[in-house]
Each structure stands twice: as structure tokens, then as C-alpha cells.
Amino acid sequence: MEVVITGRQMEITPALKEYIEGRARKIEKYTSKATQVAFTLKVEKYRHIAEVLVRANGFLLQAEEETDEMYASVDQAMNKIERQFKKYKEKLSNHRVRQEEIAEEPEPEAPLPTIRKRKVFPVKPMQVEEAALQMELLGKDFFLFGNHENHRINVLYKRKDGTLGLIEPIY
């Protein structure tokens, strides 16, 4: 397992690095395929922010925590990651993702806001059920994925009534 630690507006001390690597090793009990754990640590005035991104089994798990002490932020973020792994394992064993939960209504158009952040990530081909599980694990309201069935980029999103919507573009 590769552990990447990045400090923004702070220096990563050897003690902090050792502590983070120890915390990262704890998630190996949940999966043998955790390929990368990336920590981004930031200090903004009195706010100590720890962001954690785990790539495992083709899924991404993400957590961010903010406290007034970096070790506490790392602990809380890693606790979130561990809860996400437990939830992921439970979902895989129960197979409760149902196709009827996915509605096929397009998302209404809205004016485009100013882009403040841009993310680049690989698109993995997956079933719609896998995408719904991934979206839930990340705690996001939408998820972009390569649809294994139609070989196109699709967007899965949460609707206001709690159901899911699927955008399947035609080009």
C-alpha cells in the first residue's frame, strides 16, 4: 500500500508522518487491494484540515475533517474512512442496491456558475448498481462513471425525493 502525504501551508514532521502511516495501515484489514492512501493536510489560521482519499478495489473513499489539532483531524478522517469501508463491505454482502430505485428523468438545466475547482480522475467502467454504491460511499449527490452496458459516460444523481436519477447522454 502506498501512502502519500502532502502538506499545504505546513511542514510534515517525522512524528506526524509516522503517525499517519500507522493509521493508514489499519485499513489493510478491510481490503487487500488498497493501492493508495493520499493525505492532504492543511493549516488555515487555527483550523487543521485533514483530507483522505483511498483508492481500493476500484472504488474511491474520501473523508475530510477539521479540528484545532492535526492529529485529531487525521483520526476523525480515518474513522470516517473505516466506517465507509464497513458500509462498503456490508453492501457487498447484502446486495441491497435495487434497480427500481434508479429513475430515468433528466436533470433540469441551470445557469452555469463560475468554475472554482477542477478535478481529473480516471473513469472506470461499471454497472449502474456499482455506481450507486460508489456514490453513496463517497457521500456525494452525483457520480460520473463509464456505463458498462452502453459504453458511454453516465451521471447518477440524487433527486430531491431521495430516489436516484440517471443521465444517459446521446451523441
Give the pLDDT confidence of 110-134 residue by residue, as tens digits.
565 677 777 777 788 899 999 998 8
What pLDDT is attached to residue 73? 93
111 inside domain? no
114 inside domain? no
Q: Of the spans 19-28, 30-39, 104-113, which averages the highest pLDDT? A: 19-28
**136 versus 95: which is more confidently predicted?**
136
Dist CA 94 CA 30 (whole Å): 16
Q: Which helix (DSSP H) or strand (DSSP E) does residue 4 occupy? A: strand 2-8
CATH of the domain at 153: 3.30.505.50
> Are 124 and 88 in a shared domain?
no
User: Above pLDDT 70, what percent of the chain?
Assistant: 85
> Are 6 and 85 in a shared domain?
yes
73 inside domain? yes
Instruction: Supply the pTM of this predicted model.
Output: 0.57
What pLDDT is attached to residue 108? 53
pLDDT exceeds 90 at position 99: no
Q: Of the spans 3-17, 78-92, 96-110, which averages the highest pLDDT? A: 3-17
* All cell numbers assigned to 53: 482519499
Q: Which domain holds residue 161?
A: 99-105+119-167
CB atoms within 10 A of CB 6: 12
